[in-house]
Amino acid sequence: MITVKNLYHSYNKDDNFAVKDVSFEVKNGEIFGFLGPSGAGKSTTQGILTGLLKLQKGNVSVAGYDVKEIKQKMFNKIGMSFEQSNVYSKLTAKENLEFYRKLFDVETYKPEELLNLVGLEGKENIKAGEFSKGMKHRLTFARSMINNPELWFLDEPTTGLDPAIASQIKDIIKQKNANGVTIFLTTHNMFIADELCDRVAFIVDGEIKLIDSPKNLKLQYGDNLIDVEYINNGETIIETYSTVLEKDKKSLKNIIENYEIQTMHTKEATLEEIFIKVTGRELI
């Protein structure tokens, strides 16, 4: 669905590249996470893929279209949800969606259906300018689905939403993906990426450091650990041991045999811990 080969981009058209030699592929029907801290090159890459930024160097194909010569009809297949809400504040929620649905040449959703889907039922006739930040974000998210896209770009889809709404949004993403929609998810939230993505790419300083599935990354980079909570001389002690290191194995055996165990859990390395381990950078 997306093929990117040797992509470079410089805002000043010099050798100071925001994105350098980026190559990856996104297969049909997968959720591909593009992860990295602020300024890593996520938005630049996404901007080029969606035609918002002009392709300078490299080859990019999106939904079967060469991005060098963007054709407007390409956007019939694409949906884009922006991190910053960008709806017409003087139009009502319904008017916003009603307007955008007319800009596509394919079958579109009725505004009411989408508003119900994102929990904005009953708010159809309220001007978007009167919405809270979270409501505006949901309206922006709903708008990105209006043309029932085959390829869906999501930029920080749950940022600023309360946990219940964020969970609802994640369910919609999962549902859409189950229906065959390919999703390109840009985020710095590793928990969402871990939960939703089939594969993730770590991007730092404009370069992709690795691409793999969260499961493989955990197997490859994560140490398996055990958290154990036990009583020693009337005191509760919590310690973490590796299941790989011999010394830790022996200590753990000793605790099991000689102390009263309160709780004991295996612990997987998080995607965030792996990111830091691989890139040496925090996700800020």
Residues found near another protein in the complex (CB under 8 A): 47, 50-54, 72-73, 75-76, 78, 80, 82, 84-91, 95, 99-100, 102-106, 140, 143, 147
- Can you give the length of the chain in residues? 284
Beta strand 31-35 with 199-204: parallel, antiparallel or unpaired? parallel
What are the Cα distances from residue 128, in Å, to 89, 181, 221? Answer: 5, 28, 45
CB proximity list for 1: less than 8 A, separation 6 or greater: 26, 27, 28, 62, 63, 150, 151, 182
CB 225, min distance to another protein, A: 44
Task: With H, G, I as helix, E, B as strand and everything else as coil, classify residue 24.
Answer: strand
CB 161, min distance to another protein, A: 18
Instruction: Give the integer Cα–Cα distance in Å for 259 and 10.
Output: 61
Would you give the end-to-end CA distance of the chain in angstroms?
A: 29
196: which DSSP letter? Answer: H
CB 78, min distance to another protein, A: 7
Burial of 214 per CB tally in 10 Å (0-12, 13-18, 19+): buried
Structure-token match 């009725």, residue found: 110
CB proximity list for 201: less than 8 A, separation 6 or greater: 24, 32, 33, 34, 35, 208, 210, 211
Which of 40/78 has CB closer to another protein? Answer: 78
CB 205, min distance to another protein, A: 22
CB 8, min distance to another protein, A: 18
Which of 57/253 has CB closer to another protein? Answer: 57
CB 284, min distance to another protein, A: 24
Nearest Cα neighbor of 183 from 211, 157, 146 is 157
Which of 50/189 has CB closer to another protein? Answer: 50
Which of 37/47 has CB closer to another protein? Answer: 47
Residue 171 CA, chain-centre distance (Å), reads 13
Which of 145/228 has CB closer to another protein? Answer: 145
Which of 102/247 has CB closer to another protein? Answer: 102
CB 61, min distance to another protein, A: 17
Structure-token match 């093929």, residue found: 3
